[in-house]
Amino acid sequence: VVYVLFRPISRYYYKKVNKVLTEVLWLELIWLVDWWAGVEIELYADSETFNLLGKENALLICNHRSDIDWLIGWVLAERMGCLGSIVAIMKNEIKYLPVLGWSMWFADFLFLARNWAKDEKSLKTGFEQQVRNPVPFWLALFAEGTRFTQTKLIEAQEFARSRGMPIPKNVLVPRTKVNKIRS
């Protein structure tokens, strides 16, 4: 309803209203992390940086270590006052998840098909849209593009070794699968 009524008239008011609605929905998950799991987050930053968190655009680069590490980013964003304006780059299938995926779509998350021919335009359009965003946002990027597992680490190490690259110990190397070109 907000998308249909507010967005065509005023992107500013759409983002403001959607930010509140998104926060209300996502706060339920954050409450579970705080209350049930008792997660503690330690943030190390100088005072100038700490005071700017949530008040300006930011890029959050994360390792994808578990199925719920994105939720830790949401907890941090909530504590900094910008939960409703956090966005991420995610695989396209996520937007079809009932409620959670839909809320990410309405919150202007960037979804990728993992096909550069399709994703190049999506990324350009998405970034242009975020830059015009009237509300400061955090862009969360899980640079590895997939969850970290021991099997994937071994594949990444083998790939790095075969290419003469430094051997990773705690992160993955992007693109460990070689695309075969037909001749």
pLDDT digits (tens, 9 = 90+) for 109-144: 999 888 888 899 988 988 888 877 777 888 888 766
pLDDT digits (tens, 9 = 90+) for 21-30: 888 999 988 8
Task: Return the amino acid letter for 114.
Answer: R
Strand partners, 61: 141
Task: Return the amino acid letter for 70.
Answer: W
Could you give the CA distance from residue 117 to residue 123 in angstroms, rounded to a whole number?
11
Of how many residues is the chain composed?
183
Could you give the CA distance from residue 94 to residue 112 in angstroms, rounded to a whole number?
10
Give the residue among 127, 121, 132 at the shortest CA–CA distance from 87: 127
Token output for 169:
């110990």
Could you give the CA distance from residue 98 to residue 32 in angstroms, rounded to a whole number?
19
Q: What is the CA radius of gyration of the chain?
A: 18
Give me the residues of the chain with pLDDT under 70, please.
143-145, 175-183
pLDDT at site 93:
92
The sheet carrying 110-112 orders its strands as 58-62, 138-142, 86-91, 110-112
State which H helix or E strand residue 77 sits in.
Answer: helix 69-79
Give the residue among 56, 40, 37 at the shortest CA–CA distance from 48: 56
